[in-house]
Amino acid sequence: MKQKASKRSNNLNRNTWGDYIIIVIMLLVAFITLYPMYYVFLQSISDPLEVAAMNVYFYPKGFFLKSYGLLVKDSQLWHSYGYTFFYVISGTILTLFTSVTSAYVLNAPKLIGKKWLIVFLLIPMYFSGGLIPSFLLITKLGLYNTVWALVLPSSYNITYIILTKTFFSSIPYEMTESAKIDGANHYRILGQIYLPLAKPILAVVAIYTIVGIWNSWFPSLVYQPNMDIQPLQMYLRRILIEQSVDLTNIGSMQEAEAMARLKLSNSQLKYSVIILTTLPIIFVYPFFQKYFVKGVMIGSLKG
């Protein structure tokens, strides 16, 4: 009995040490993941002199929010925010619509030429025409320098269609046949059977689309020379790279003093812009989190 008890205590000790090691590793990974964002936040609120001297690493030194004040007063920032929300909302809705409808059709077992259709869809995933044909297509369709140049081309994503189709394949087809016997048409089957069960995969497609559109800037650079309709990331690019955004329109001595301090650390303004452009997408993710892992696993393993 004593030997058994000692063996059990040894196993418990091993399990405990194993748990401690895993916790330490996870904390290290979390620190490596979160610290860059924390560092940017510290730089954006610390004293410009300390930021310029590169003395801020783990806690803020001083307290300075004038950079946020200048950005909040900039109407161009909020104008870009508005267009970005338009691109995100419209692009996500259209992407979900095309993914669901295409996946539902491809999931039909008696679809004529189903294998050829899937092959036809898979080819553009690996081989594309390139930038010049895409630019010519956008121009010929009359989408150049319009808001639709960012919305329509990105609303049809083959990867999301295949992912959604794979998820739909995990739903027993007998449910569809039973609904047809009861007199349900395809619209009702899709809306009342497939969509309620497909919340996990729809959440995955939605969050991927939202993040992709929110972080996208290159299509706007190519297709939208008009800065009035460019998204938020182009505004951020002009500040970080081109430095063509003028935030120096100041009218009082206090604002002039604040701007003089900002010039001591021009990077602080950039850090503030990064925080303002990143916060919305960070707040969106928790609403999709409960579906996210489940959708990815089922969509990737079932088939």
Chosen domain end from 178, 196, 229: 229
Q: Whole domain around residue 295: which residue ranges?
A: 2-72+247-301
Predicted confidence (pLDDT) per residue in 102-142, tens digit: 888 888 777 777 778 878 877 877 777 778 888 888 888 88
CA distance 204 to 254: 48
**57 three-state secondary structure:** coil
Could you tell me if 201 and 104 lie in one domain?
yes
Assess if residue 156 is contained within a domain. Answer: yes
In this structure, the answer to whether residues 142 and 219 fall within a common structural domain is yes
The answer to whether residues 153 and 111 belong to one domain is: yes
Whether the per-residue pLDDT at 289 is higher than 70: the answer is no
Residue 302's pLDDT is what? Answer: 45
Residue 93: Cβ-neighbour burial (10 angstroms; 0-12, 13-18, 19+):
middle
Higher pLDDT, 31 or 284: 31
**260 found inside a domain:** yes
- Of 286, 294, 198, 274, nearest to 37 by C-alpha is 274
pLDDT in tens, 43-67: 777 777 777 667 777 777 777 777 7
Do residues 192 and 141 share a domain? yes
Amino acid code (one letter) for 252: S
Residue where one domain finishes, among candidates 229, 258, 292: 229
